[in-house]
Amino acid sequence: MPSIGRHLTIDMYGCNNEILNDFEFIKTAMLAAITGTNLTVQDLIGHKTEPQGLTAIAMLGQSHMSIHTYPELNYAAVDIFTYGDYSHADKVLTILKSYLKPEKIRTTNILRGDFGRQKDMKPRIRVSIAPLRRVRNTSARVWRFFRNK
């Protein structure tokens, strides 16, 4: 089965905490990103959390986009799911970066509906044998120490 869509998750670190608490600003940024990429807005809703932060969700004709902000951490979590033209998510990201101005970004791309064609998203585990070598070397030194006594 070919993939039906692309889900882009974006972690934005080092954003201005004042704009992350401003629903009207976040709404403006989302609408600019959506209209700038020729996506269509069906509905845009938001909820301010206490004591600070907000969640904004845009239902799109081509799927959805959401932003969750954590002003106390200068952090915003963005999800963009689009089907069909996969370039929409990249364009939305570019526009949102110009509004939120994060210092660092981490993105994760997920192809949706891609059962079995690509490896599942499992974290890669890197095994370092250096700690095992240190333990082995330490135990060898201990044995040598006792042997010499």
Residue 9 to residue 60: CA distance in whole angstroms: 16
Domains in the chain, ordered, with CATH? 5-148 (3.60.90.10)
Closest CA to 17 of 58, 73, 68, 67: 73
What string of pLDDT tens digits covers the 149 residues of the chain? Answer: 567 888 889 999 999 999 999 999 999 999 999 998 888 899 999 999 888 999 999 999 888 999 999 999 999 999 999 887 666 788 888 999 999 999 999 998 887 776 666 565 554 444 445 555 566 677 777 878 888 86
Query: What residues have CB less than 8 Å from 147, skipping those under 6 apart?
Result: none
Element (H or E) spanning 118, and its range?
none
Instruction: Quote the pLDDT of residue 1.
Output: 58
Helix segments in 2-129, DSSP class H? 17-20, 23-36, 87-100
